[in-house]
């Protein structure tokens, strides 16, 4: 482990990154982060370590994906501890650019248009968010020359849109989704969890409980899944739900049967959290579906 700690190279400019990247041969995996690293990020690093010859991380709090009333200035910056996490998990290098290094001309004149699936769910509550996400992801994929990139399923809509961008723009990088990492009590790991008070954290557990309740009714069809999740969410008055939606794996309408995704977003105090879970639906008799509505 000590040897790993001594090997991490830190690049802060594009020129330094290019020099580092030139020394990474074979299959290069990239893990993009905004810092404040936790076990969820560690799971991405472990997946990259297993699948690639070299692991390159990025730490960049991207202003383009934050709205005017969101927490860009407040977002945790913990570089020293982040570098330790990267060393401990065998990252070969990390790119830690300034905003000016990524956007040297200020507000970019060209952005990635993410399409209609970016206007639903998170996009409906955070207009322009995914324009900023896909723009910086594309820039970082180009700058790192990654063979494969690893993203967490907790940000499921983001993962879906990144996969579409890479496919439709012929970016030669494979996108790998990694399962959500949870605390023992079910709370999905997030850098924003540190904003929660003890009372708020207890309230936030309703999100994962609602998803489990919904998934537990998958054998009774889509209506029952949503009804069960809504009933659970209604038990916690300290949580303000932004949305609860059931979709197909590509964020379209849910199928009558087969793979689906149950997604939720809510505010707990001033902190906005998201979560989701995969669901396998079983077609249900319409004659009994009305009995399961909330």
Which strands form 28-33's sheet, in the order they lie side by side? Answer: 9-11, 93-95, 54-59, 28-33, 148-152, 174-178
β pairing state of 258-268 and 239-247? antiparallel
Decide: 134 and 157 in contact? Cβ < 8 Å: no
Q: Which residue has the tokens 């020394």?
A: 23
Q: Which of 38, 41, 217, 220 is catalytic?
A: 41
For 45, the token pair is: 């690093």
**CA atoms within 13 A of residue 135's CA, in its CB half-sphere:** 19
- Tell me if residue 41 is catalytic: yes
C-alpha distance from residue 241 to each of 89, 111, 114, 232 (Å): 36, 30, 25, 12
- Give the active site residues: 41
């Amino acid at each position: 482990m000590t040897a790993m700690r001594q090997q991490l190279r830190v690049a802060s400019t594009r020129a330094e990154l290019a020099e580092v990247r030139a020394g990474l041969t074979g299959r290069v995996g990239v893990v993009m982060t905004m810092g404040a690293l936790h076990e969820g990020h560690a799971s991405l690093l472990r997946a990259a370590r297993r699948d690639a010859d070299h692991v390159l991380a990025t730490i960049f709090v991207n202003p383009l994906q934050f709205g005017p009333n969101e927490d860009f200035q407040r977002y945790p910056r913990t570089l020293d501890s982040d570098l330790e996490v990267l060393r401990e998990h065998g990252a070969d290098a990390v790119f830690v650019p300034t905003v000016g290094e990524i956007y040297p001309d200020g507000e970019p004149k060209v952005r990635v248009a993410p399409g209609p699936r970016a206007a639903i769910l998170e996009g409906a509550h955070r207009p322009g968010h995914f324009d900023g996400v896909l723009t910086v992801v594309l820039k970082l994929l180009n700058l790192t020359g990654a063979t494969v990139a690893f993203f967490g399923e907790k940000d499921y809509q983001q993962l879906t849109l990144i996969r579409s961008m890479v496919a439709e723009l012929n970016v030669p990088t494979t996108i790998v989704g990694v399962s959500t990492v949870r605390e023992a009590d079910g709370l999905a790991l997030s850098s924003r969890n540190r904003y929660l008070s003890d009372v708020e954290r207890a309230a936030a557990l309703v999100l994962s409980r609602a998803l489990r309740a919904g998934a537990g009714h998958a054998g009774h069809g889509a209506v029952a899944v949503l009804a069960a999740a809504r009933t659970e969410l209604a038990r916690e008055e300290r949580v303000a739900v932004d949305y609860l939606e059931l979709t197909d794996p590509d964020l379209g309408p849910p199928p009558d049967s087969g793979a689906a995704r149950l997604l939720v977003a809510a505010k707990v105090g001033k902190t906005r959290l998201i979560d989701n879970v995969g669901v396998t639906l079983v077609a249900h008799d319409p004659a009994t579906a009305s009995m399961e509505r909330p």
